[in-house]
Amino acid sequence: MFALTVVILVSYLIGSIPSSIWVGKVYKKIDIRDYGSGNAGATNTFRILGWKAGVVVLLIDLTKGFVCAAVISQLAYQIGSGPAAPAVWEADAFLRIVCGAAAVFGHMFPLYASFEGGKGAATAAGMLYGIEPLSITITIVVFITVILISRYVSLGTIIGSAVYPLSQIVLIRFFNWPIDVSVVIFSTILALVIIAKHHGNIKRLISGTENRISSFKPSKGRINEDQSPA
């Protein structure tokens, strides 16, 4: 239990790194939460600061989830004998999932930013990459394709979240891909949470008021135009 507690705490602290806030302060000396949607995530960074800052934030958030799931989780075996997983879970899958989930929780409620974080999609993608890479690769391709076609980062996130557990089911059912059922269950729950967290974006997409990425370059007027959080 001690080993599990340590790796979960470390994962939460890594997940709490507020990449979009720090990049916003370095890049434009602003708090990204004061602009656009008011959300401290990659979507708002792309919208307000452009693709370069957005890519930096996206990569940091992906890395947070991946490192916690693939690396920090394994430290439990160095600290002790490793945690006892619930009966229905394979032990290593359990470790990777709980550490990755702690990172996602840290991203959503960061200790270093007054517990006001992002929506967790990129960090969740990184976490899932550390658990099962093929299905998350499919998801990322879908995510990027939707963004390039629609210019809606939120739409790419929502569709990508839905595609992830579906791709796992297809891989298991038709290709006998070795994915533990507990991973499918968890990724389904996580996808639902991420989609629910985007309820405001869904409303704006339906009403046609959601902000697009009009350009993959930052606009001089964009910060002033989007100054009030939506």
How do residues 143-164 score in pLDDT, each as one tens digit?
A: 999 999 998 988 998 999 999 9
Q: What is the pLDDT of residue 3?
A: 85
Q: How many CB atoms lie within 10 A of CB 186?
A: 23
Q: Give the mean pLDDT of 22-44.
A: 88
Q: Are 9 and 99 in contact (CB under 8 A)?
A: no
**Rounded (10°) angle between helices 42-49 and 51-70:** 160
pLDDT over 80 at 71, yes or no? yes
Task: Determine the Cα–Cα distance for residues 117 and 18; give it in Å rounded to an integer.
Answer: 7
DSSP state of 53: H
Q: Give the mean pLDDT of 73-89.
A: 72
Q: What is the pLDDT of residue 134?
A: 93
Percent of the chain at pLDDT exceeding 70: 88
pLDDT over 90 at 57, yes or no? yes
Task: Determine the Cα–Cα distance for residues 169 and 191; give it in Å rounded to an integer.
Answer: 14
Secondary structure class of 4 (helix, strand, coil): helix
pLDDT over 70 at 217, yes or no? no
